Structure 1
Amino acid sequence: MFDTGWVAVPAPDLAALRQLGERVRPLSAAAERVLPVPPAFAGLIPQGGLVRGSTVATGGSAATSLALALAGPATAAGSWCAVVGLAHLGLLAAAELGVALERTLLIAEPAPQEWAGTVAALLDAVDVVLVQPAQSITPTVQRRLVARARDRGSVLVQAGGRAEVWAALPDLTVTAGRSRWEGLGVGHGRLRARRVEVEVAGRRGAVRPRRAELWLPGPEGQIALAAPAAPVVGVVDGPAAPAVALRDAG
């Protein structure tokens, strides 16, 4: 049964993915055009959440954590999330960042020639799809995936990796800068919290980048503001910023 725990689906079983989509898609609120994000991100992201039909890329020192944190509230609200590849993903860490594992699909890394079809089928089936493509995505394939996401109201999230694999920039880029862990003393203690500088930029409403320092997670395991959001000094309205390198992280 798909509703009793996380499901691992071997790629590229597209028929199984389409069947799954017929079962889980009604759980999403199709009329809602914005998927919720942690309140700490509300002042950083235009419209206060992930706009259905959009593309998002996370990068920097905590790329995977950012992607999971952004997806967490949507799964808690009843949406389903699919993770394609990302063999290094830790389910405990995902749960601690708010991801509902009982509504999370883990998809084995598809063969290069089957990657696009697998992701397209998942965009049909669930609300949030996390990917980390290793091969370059052609403009034709990217346009097809973006059109599928817009048609179905899904959100495609690149969780770290190389930004240049895509032919065009995403709608939203969420990048982790400097980060530091707290809790360790001199020869004793344990990692209890991490402060991360987060910058959000992109197109349309996100042309003017904004930056804040977040707990990811905080001492009590929460995602919260450590320092208020503010515009990045020296940036003016204009064309979207050039592509940035997104490197793998935890």
Structure 2
Amino acid sequence: MRSIMGEARSAAGTTVDTVAALRAQLDRLQGRRLDVPVLPVPQALASLLPGGGLRPGSSYSLGRSTSLLFSLLARPSQDGAWCAAVGMPHLGAEAARAAGVDLSRLVLVPDPGERWLAVTAAVADVLPVVAVRPPARAKDADISRLAARMREREAVLLVQGPWPQTEAMIDVGDPSWSGLGDGYGILEGRELTVTVTSRRFPVPRTGRVLLPDAAGGVAGAAGGMPGRASAAPVRTGLRAVG
């Protein structure tokens, strides 16, 4: 009996090792190894993302929050990476600047028309970070071709909306503003729950962040530890006006 149980444990261990080896090999072929350099993001988001940043050659599915998009573009642009926003005609350049995005390294393609996917692919040929808001669902074959081009060029694709073959899905919720009293005051910051879902995690990662914080960027909220939602939002810095 002991011999049979030992053989079963050994076989199970071998199977797990084989699956892990195959997954690592697939990740290497797809350019998705965890140990490759990543594009930096604010620390409050780095602790939630696979690998701690934006992985070259990967795609990320974002919620519709423009603040979230700006927070992901800010550090790469500040560090010298050119970024593009495709299909976002109402994107506010001044709001992007206030969130820390270097406008001198931001290219806007407000209305690419029906060929938005081809435009996105062309932009990804020359720029390392491309954000796009798809106006319609693309064909699976076209998405696969774009994913292959992103891996070849080692570019990052940030998609506002659902998207297959993503490294992670990032969204925000449960907003709470600070700075308002009983109907008066000055808005000083917004606290949100960021949720990151990835095939690399057994469960989604969550954390409370200030987005925007007092400086217009993103920072960790008090008690908002990664991996769990924080307790009730803390309201600080109330100032009466009038």
TM-score (norm 1): 0.72
How many residues were matched structurally? 193
1:56 to 57, 60, 68: 60
Deviation for aligned residue 1:219: 2.5
RMSD, matched Cα: 1.8
Cα pair distance change 1:151/1:207, threshold 3 Å: farther
Where does residue 8 of structure 1 map in the other structure? none
* 1:169 CA displacement: 4.3
Q: Which amino acid aligns with 2:119?
A: T
Residue 83 of structure 2 corresponds to 81
* Change in CA separation of 1:182 and 1:76 when aligned onto 2, cut-off 3 Å: same
After TM superposition, give the deviation of residue 176 of structure 1 in Å. Answer: 0.3
Shift of 1:216: 0.5
Contact kept in structure 1, 2:41 and 2:72, CA below 8 Å? yes
Separation in 1, partners of 2:116, 2:184? 45
Q: Which amino acid aligns with 2:70?
A: L
Question: In 1, are the aligned partners of 2:50 and 2:198 still within 8 Å (CA)?
Answer: no
Q: Please, which runs of 5 or more residues in structure 1 have no aligned partner?
A: 1-31, 234-250
Compare 120-129 and 84-93 and name the one that shifted more: 84-93
Q: Which whole-Å deviations, capped at 9, do the CAs of 1:195-234 have from their partners, x for residues lacking one? A: 010011122x24531100000011343411103333359x
Aligned to 2:187: 191
Q: Which has the higher contact order (CA 8 A, sep 6+)?
A: 1
Report the CA distance between 1:185 and its aligned residue: 2.8
- Residues 82 and 156 of structure 1: is their aligned pair in 2 closer, same or farther, counting only changes over 3 Å? same
Distance 2:142 2:40 in 1: 28
Q: Amino acid of the residue matched to residue 49 of structure 1?
A: G
Look up the match of 1:213.
208
Counting only pairs closer than 5 Å after superposition, residues 163-174 of structure 1 correspond to structure 2 as 163=162, 166=163, 168-174=164-170
- Partner AA of 2:184 in structure 1: H
| Counterpart position of 2:50 | 46
Counterpart contact for 2:46–2:52, Cα < 8 Å: yes
Q: Which runs of 4+ in 1 moved over 4 A?
A: none
Aligned-residue sequence identity (percent) comes to 38
Point out the structure with max Rg over C-alpha. Answer: 2
Give the 5 Å matches for 1:1-250. Answer: 33-59=37-63, 63-112=65-114, 114-159=115-160, 161=161, 163=162, 166=163, 168-203=164-199, 205-226=200-221, 227-231=223-227
Greater share of residues in strand: 1
Distance change in 2, residues 1:200/1:144 (3 Å): same
Which secondary structure state, in structure 2, belongs to the residue aligned with residue 195 of structure 1?
strand
Unaligned runs of 5+ residues in structure 2 are: 1-35, 230-242
Contact 1:86 1:132 in 2 (8 A): yes
Amino acid at match of 2:82: W
**CA–CA separation in structure 2 for the residues paired with 1:68 and 1:206:** 25
> CA contact under 8 A between 2:87 and 2:116: conserved in structure 1?
no
Cα deviation digits, residues 109-160 of structure 1 (max 9, x gap): 2121x1121001111111111111011111111011111110001001013x
- Contact (CA 8 Å) 1:200, 1:206: kept in 2 or not? no
- SS of the equivalent of 1:217 reads coil
Q: After TM superposition, give the deviation of residue 174 of structure 1 in Å.
A: 0.6
Tell me if the contact between 2:39 and 2:55 (Cα under 8 Å) persists in the aligned partners. yes
Judge conservation of contact 1:201–1:207 (CA < 8 Å) in 2: no
